[in-house]
A and B are shown apart, each in its own frame.
With several copies, the nearest count.
Chain A
Amino acid sequence: MTIPVTFWSYFAELAGRPETSVELPQGATVGALLERVYVDHPALAGLRRSTLVAVGVEYQDDTHVLSAGDRVSLFPPVQGG
């Protein structure tokens, strides 16, 4: 399955692009997606501890199992207000 990934805030600069997509086997987890993203975008790997991951509009952790049709967002700590 192909999972589109959006980078928000300065993650887009670090990735050099606002979006990408990752090809993953059925049953892959958020953690597996992150490993793939970090291969292509090593500048993001160092921020993994503070990276927030959303699938659709819900926060998810590394163990969450992705499904075809999911959209993933990666972003740094939020700063509203």
Chain B
Amino acid sequence: MKRSLLITTDPIDEAALIAVRSLSAGMGAVVAFSGVVRGREGDASLAALDYTCFVPMAEYQFHRLFDRLAGRGTIESVRLVHRIGRVAVGEASLWVEVVAAHRAEAFEACQWLIDEMKRVVPIWKRAVPASASDEPSAPAGPAPAPVPSTPSDPNPAP
């Protein structure tokens, strides 16, 4: 199974990704997913999301997921791009493409990969409110956060 992984602060260029797609003659299905930053999360109006990533572990965990897909049969190719850093509303933070012989397995693999990513790949996001787009908001999390004395992003991606 061909695999391609990119974790990048650059905008995701879907046209360029599609331009280099290649299918062998037995492949009949391409499923592509773009995850785009929404302007609202719950009641809050957002300007952007700031993504942080523990990159070496994310790469390792992504490749473990790819290994599991490779054992599934007639998937020819998986490509995944995750953007990190600040991603503005309306821009894509994630692009996933699965090429397979048949439609059902392409859809299933694409959804499975995203579900598993959200379970095991160490990437986190925090909201940048629309009203103060230069300052990240309090982090999204279950606990009240004390006001940090450190800079607003203490976890730059390595």
Contact = CB atoms under 8 A, between A and B. Distances in A.
Interface of A: 6-10, 12-14, 16-18, 43, 46-47, 50, 52, 54, 56-59, 73, 75-76, 78-81
Interface string B130-152: 00000000011111011011100
Contacts, number: 100
Contact of A81 (B52, B56, B114, B149): B114
A56 B126 CA distance: 24
Nearest to B29: A81
A54 B148 contact: no
Contacts of B140: 10, 79
Interface in B8-56: 35, 51-54, 56
A18 to B, nearest CB: 4
A16 B150 contact: yes
B149 A16 contact: yes
B3 interface: no
Interface residues of B, number: 37
Interface of B: 35, 51-54, 56-58, 60-61, 82, 93-94, 103, 114, 117-126, 139-143, 145-146, 148-150, 154-155
B54 A13 contact: no
A81 B30 CA distance: 12
A81 B93 contact: yes
A54 B88 CA distance: 30
A73 B54 contact: yes
Contact of B124 (A16, A54, A79): A79
Contacts of A59: 120
B6 to A, nearest CB: 14
A75 B155 CA distance: 11
